[in-house]
């Protein structure tokens, strides 16, 4: 009896140490020691705040931040004021806006399935009503100038096409604005009088089109691309009743800001002297606030008439932003590499911090700011990267951190996990922006398209060469990690450079391009085919079969950790199942973590906490020993 009791006690204590949520299923993952979770606890309690909207009176801002399991909406009424939580759901709340009566509109999906529904929260009763069908994918668009109706896109007609609708908040009725054949359509803005909607059709990272829609008649005016051909648009706004403000790469490598006269459809270019992408812009009256992505960090500019001035901001990345209803102030989200994201208000050229996100009681002075580096690759190009050096380390192990996308970019914001690896484990982190990344011109972004896909993997090989030449780095102890497309890159790196990489972590990654493109959600298929190629084409299918990591599991000799969400609509969980089963069958060493209540990434804090604990244990076992 005593032996049985001791066994039960040991099992109980083991479960307590492991802290694995019930929704997470694992295979071959050992229990995570309590000591790891204890050391991670403060990093797990770092928060961030994101600006969502102003209240109609312009006195308060609506923000998103996390206090319990998932990110929820809060109101902040003054600089440094308390955060008044207004939504309390198990699932994370996404995009949001405030209507003229003070009710809050927001998007929310169930357990990461990304079939977003739009809700209206009555602030007086505290009750939220679903405004969409509960089944399709819906994306909240902008409120009209009166804040009495909003535009949205929905796949409810056929599950694929992003038809555009307008919803009247007083009557509660939705009306079709534009029926389309493809995904990727959305309303970006309303004209000042609310009679027209500005629409963008995203085809791929290299191509989009802009249209003006008469809300009453449905008549569509197509905005021409200067010089014809294809172009990609970024910011797309009304700058007045007969003027648009757009960022577009029709004239060169980068998206430049331009005014478009709707009477003549001519472009007036405003940022010829800035050799970087204009990423976002907001307009109030005749004034514009816009951001530029300069090598990953944001620069912020104020444009008033013909005068342009730069607003001094700390090194970091500006996210969402907008003017207050009276146009006198603007709120922005700003994430720094050495501080989590917070909300700031700009008035008279000066920034005032409105939120103070907690850092888990950690000392911010210990956080590491990355160094921007370049390294040569196989074709003599220079590949940009961000290099985090641990303090006081003489010979550091290295984690190569690969962003998703592929049309994405690593930017110097705050990553609590990276800081833990640096500070607590003494491991260096290098985040390359390999060919195919955005932010470095459209030629660079197209270098990995179609049958050039594996040339981006060669850029990782060149980084391994660079690491081997650095005296402060240990080239015999290298791991690689990435999420989504970065997960494919991590797997492909293990296939090609397994003798130089000890361990790899694949988070919601692609293992088989054919099954990925066949099984990804219907509204995404054509968008992804435009980037990767069409698996229905025999030549492209043969190429996909040749490069997919699942076809080369016998070459994966490094230790592998596979993490996925069972409800992932983008990269279905079958990708994780395939690669894990294949590596095991080939005699490889693989840990598997799959959450039944997550999608493309872990949004619930308890799941993320456990995932990070497993990742640290994995790195300790296979990189640091």
Residue 25 located in a structural domain: yes
Residue that has been written with the tokens 């308060």 in this structure: 60
189 with 238: CB under 8 angstroms?
Answer: yes
Q: What is the pLDDT of residue 17?
A: 55
Q: What is the pLDDT of residue 7?
A: 32
Average pLDDT, the chain: 92
Helix (H) or strand (E) holding 334: strand 330-336
Residue 118 located in a structural domain: no
Residue 83 has pLDDT above 60, yes or no: yes
Residue 547 located in a structural domain: yes
Q: What is the mean pLDDT of residues 446-460?
A: 89
**d(C-alpha 248, C-alpha 223), whole Å:** 12
Q: Whole domain around residue 514: which residue ranges? A: 21-44+361-624
Tokens of 37: 């979770």
Residue 493 located in a structural domain: yes
Alpha-carbon distances, residue 501 vs 211, 382, 414, 464, 465 (angstroms): 49, 22, 26, 9, 12
598 CB neighbour count, 10 Å cutoff? 27
Q: Which of 479, 517, 336, 483 is nearest to 404 (CA)?
A: 483
Tokens of 409: 């970019």
Q: Which of 12-16, 56-60, 452-456, 601-605 has the lowest mean pLDDT?
A: 12-16
The b/e string for 39-64 (b: 16+ C-beta within 10 A; e otherwise) is ebebbbbbbbbbbbbbbbeeebbbbb
Q: What is the CATH number of the domain that holds 579?
A: 3.40.50.1820
Q: Which of 380, 382, 376, 547 is nearest to 457 (CA)?
A: 547
Residue 442 located in a structural domain: yes
Helix (H) or strand (E) holding 300: strand 297-304
Helix (H) or strand (E) holding 522: helix 522-532
Q: What is the mean pLDDT of residues 276-301?
A: 94
59 with 68: CB under 8 angstroms?
Answer: no
Residue 354 has pLDDT above 90, yes or no: yes
Q: What is the pLDDT of residue 111?
A: 85
Length, in residues, of the chain: 625
Q: What is the pLDDT of residue 4?
A: 37
pLDDT in tens, 13-33: 334 457 899 999 999 999 999
Q: What is the mean pLDDT of residues 240-249?
A: 93
Strands 503-507 and 559-565: parallel
DSSP letter assigned to residue 499: G
Helix (H) or strand (E) holding 525: helix 522-532
Q: What is the pLDDT of residue 12?
A: 31
Q: What is the pLDDT of residue 11?
A: 32
Residue 2 has pLDDT above 80, yes or no: no
491 with 508: CB under 8 angstroms?
Answer: no
Residue 137 located in a structural domain: no
Strands 196-204 and 371-376: unpaired
Q: Three-state SS string across 439-472, please? A: CCCHHHHHHHCHHHHHHHHHHHHHHHHHHHCCCC
pLDDT in tens, 307-345: 899 999 989 999 999 999 999 999 999 999 999 999 999
Residue 3 has pLDDT above 50, yes or no: no
The strands making up 330-336's β-sheet, listed across from edge to edge, are: 317-323, 330-336, 339-347, 350-353
Number of H helices and E strands in the chain, helices first, is 11, 37
Q: How confident is the model at residue 530 (pLDDT cuts 50, 70, 90)?
A: confident
Q: What is the mean pLDDT of residues 383-387?
A: 97
Q: What is the mean pLDDT of residues 483-509?
A: 96
Contacts of 415 (CB under 8 A, 6+ apart): none
Contacts of 266 (CB under 8 A, 6+ apart): 260
Q: What is the pLDDT of residue 450?
A: 75
Rg of the chain's alpha carbons, rounded to an integer? Answer: 25
72 with 93: CB under 8 angstroms?
Answer: yes
Residue 5 has pLDDT above 60, yes or no: no
Helices (H), 357-509: 416-425, 442-445, 453-468, 485-497
Contacts of 515 (CB under 8 A, 6+ apart): 572, 574, 575, 578
Residue 9 has pLDDT above 50, yes or no: no
Q: What is the mean pLDDT of residues 169-174?
A: 93
- Name the domain count of the chain: 1
Residue 42 has pLDDT above 80, yes or no: yes
Q: What is the pLDDT of residue 488?
A: 96
Q: Three-state SS string across 209-251, please? A: EEEEEECCCCCEEEECCCCCCCCCEEEEEEEECCEEEEEECCC
Q: What is the pLDDT of residue 60?
A: 96
Contacts of 85 (CB under 8 A, 6+ apart): 67, 72, 73, 74
Residue 108 located in a structural domain: no
Q: Three-state SS string across 112-134, please? A: CCCCCEEEEECCCCCCEEECCCC
**d(C-alpha 257, C-alpha 245), whole Å:** 7
Alpha-carbon distances, residue 259 vs 192, 193, 248, 267, 283 (angstroms): 16, 19, 11, 6, 12
Q: Which of 210, 217, 171, 216 is nearest to 194 (CA)?
A: 216
Q: What is the pLDDT of residue 448?
A: 86
Q: What is the mean pLDDT of residues 239-248?
A: 93
Contacts of 426 (CB under 8 A, 6+ apart): 390, 392, 393, 396, 397
410 with 403: CB under 8 angstroms?
Answer: yes
219 with 199: CB under 8 angstroms?
Answer: no
Residue 332 located in a structural domain: no
Q: What is the pLDDT of residue 1?
A: 34
């Amino acid at each position: 009896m005593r032996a049985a009791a001791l066994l039960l006690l040991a099992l109980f204590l083991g479960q307590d140490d492991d802290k694995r949520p019930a929704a997470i299923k694992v295979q071959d993952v050992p229990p995570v020691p309590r000591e790891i979770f204890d050391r991670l606890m403060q990093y797990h309690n770092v928060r961030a705040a994101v600006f969502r909207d102003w209240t109609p009176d312009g006195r308060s801002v609506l923000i998103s931040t996390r206090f319990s399991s998932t990110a929820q909406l809060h109101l902040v009424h003054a600089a440094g004021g308390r955060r008044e939580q207004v939504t309390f759901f198990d699932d994370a709340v996404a995009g949001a806006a405030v209507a003229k009566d003070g009710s809050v509109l927001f998007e929310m999906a169930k357990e990461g399935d990304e079939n977003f529904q739009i809700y209206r929260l009555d602030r007086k009763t505290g009750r939220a009503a679903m405004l969409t069908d509960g089944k399709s994918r819906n994306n909240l668009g902008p409120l009209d100038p009166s804040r009495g109706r909003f535009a949205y896109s929905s796949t409810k007609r056929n599950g694929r096409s992003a038809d555009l609708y307008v919803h009247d908040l007083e009557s509660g009725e939705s009306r079709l604005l534009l029926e389309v054949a493809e995904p990727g359509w959305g309303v970006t803005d309303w004209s000042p009088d609310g009679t027209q909607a500005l629409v963008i059709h995203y085809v791929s990272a290299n191509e989009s089109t802009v249209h003006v829609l008469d809300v009453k008649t449905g008549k569509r005016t197509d905005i021409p691309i200067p010089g014809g051909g294809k172009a990609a648009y970024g910011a797309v706004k009304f700058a007045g009743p007969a003027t648009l403000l757009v960022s577009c790469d029709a004239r060169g490598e980068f998206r430049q800001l331009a005014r478009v006269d709707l009477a003549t459809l001519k472009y007036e270019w405003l940022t010829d002297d800035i050799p970087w992408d204009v990423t976002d812009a907001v307009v109030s009256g005749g004034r514009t606030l816009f951001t530029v992505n300069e090598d990953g960090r944001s620069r912020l500019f104020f444009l008033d008439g013909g005068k342009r001035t730069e607003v001094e901001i700390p090194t970091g990345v500006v996210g969402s932003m907008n003017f207050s209803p009276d146009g006198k102030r603007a709120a922005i989200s700003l994430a720094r590499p050495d501080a989590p994201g917070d909300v700031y208000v700009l008035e008279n050229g000066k920034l005032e911090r409105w939120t103070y996100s907690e850092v888990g009681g950690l000392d911010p002075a210990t956080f590491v700011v990355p160094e921007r580096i370049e390294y040569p690759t196989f074709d003599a190009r220079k590949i940009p990267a961000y290099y985090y050096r641990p303090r006081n380390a003489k010979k550091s192990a290295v984690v190569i951190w690969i962003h998703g996308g592929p049309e994405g970019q690593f930017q110097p914001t705050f990553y609590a996990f990276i800081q833990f690896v640096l500070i607590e484990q003494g491991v260096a982190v290098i985040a390359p922006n390999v060919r195919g990344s955005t932010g470095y011109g459209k030629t660079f972004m197209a270098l990995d398209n179609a049958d050039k896909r594996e040339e981006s993997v060669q850029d990782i090989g060149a980084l391994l060469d660079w690491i081997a030449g650095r005296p402060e780095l240990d080239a015999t102890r290298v791991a690689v990690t990435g999420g989504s497309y970065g997960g494919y890159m991590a797997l492909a790196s293990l296939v090609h450079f397994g003798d130089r990489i000890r361990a790899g972590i694949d988070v919601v990654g692609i293992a088989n391009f054919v099954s990925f493109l066949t099984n990804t959600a219907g509204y995404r298929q054509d968008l992804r085919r435009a980037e990767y190629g069409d698996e229905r084409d025999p030549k492209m299918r043969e190429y996909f079969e040749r490069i997919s990591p699942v076809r080369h599991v016998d070459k994966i000799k490094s230790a592998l950790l596979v993490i996925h969400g069972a409800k992932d609509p983008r990269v279905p969980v079958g990708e994780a199942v395939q690669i894990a089963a294949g590596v095991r069958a080939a005699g490889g060493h693989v840990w598997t973590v799959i959450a039944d209540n997550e999608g493309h990434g872990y949004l619930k804090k308890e799941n993320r906490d456990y995932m990070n604990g497993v990742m640290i244990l994995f790195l300790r076992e296979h990189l640091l020993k």
